[in-house]
A and B are shown apart, each in its own frame.
Chain A
């Protein structure tokens, strides 16, 4: 796992995704938790906003998916992002594949944000945020995916 993460780190530095940068202080010393600064893309609803995206890598990564969520006090307002930072995105759980990477997950999240037409929270936001199994780990939740349009 460490070897692959080292490679992913090198790739991420060499080939960064526009609007995304690694919060370096947090990576040094601990490769298993990355925090990525996300700038809302120009000409989208999130232009000018800044978010923090956290990746936690399990021992069996890449055979198990990383836990990915937004952290901090600024959580993007999006129909698939709960106000506690959890993201409803199938590749993060059921459709994870070890051929995916930090970069491909980041791209999915950027495109999810950029294609948003109207800011809102998921319809069950309040209930989910109160009842989810572990606020610090979205992977403990059993996710259902029903809307591919946003």
Chain B
């Protein structure tokens, strides 16, 4: 049998590869966006800390930019929060 493909529609899915399913700050799934955003993905990216914990970038920035001194630490493990450069 000989088949001729006349056309096709490609479909792709994406998901973040993180060590958890939900953001520990806003409790939204990582594959969804933080409470302030409308669209997940590049509009609402994830960041990893050197301690390996991961959050929506917007969530962790709101925490780190608060004015208390404890805010410089990771919400999960309280180690100093430093973004891991990949």
Contact = CB atoms under 8 A, between A and B. Distances in A.
A95 B75 contact: no
Interface of B: 24-28, 35, 59, 62-63, 66, 68, 70, 73, 75-76, 78
Contact of B76 (A1, A3, A95, A99): A99
Nearest to A3: B35
Interface residues of A, number: 14
Contacts of B78: 95, 97
Contacts of A3: 26, 28, 35
Contacts of A94: 68, 70
A62 B66 CA distance: 12
A63 B62 CA distance: 7
A128 interface: no
Given A3-B26, A4-B26, A95 B63 contact: no
A96 B26 contact: no
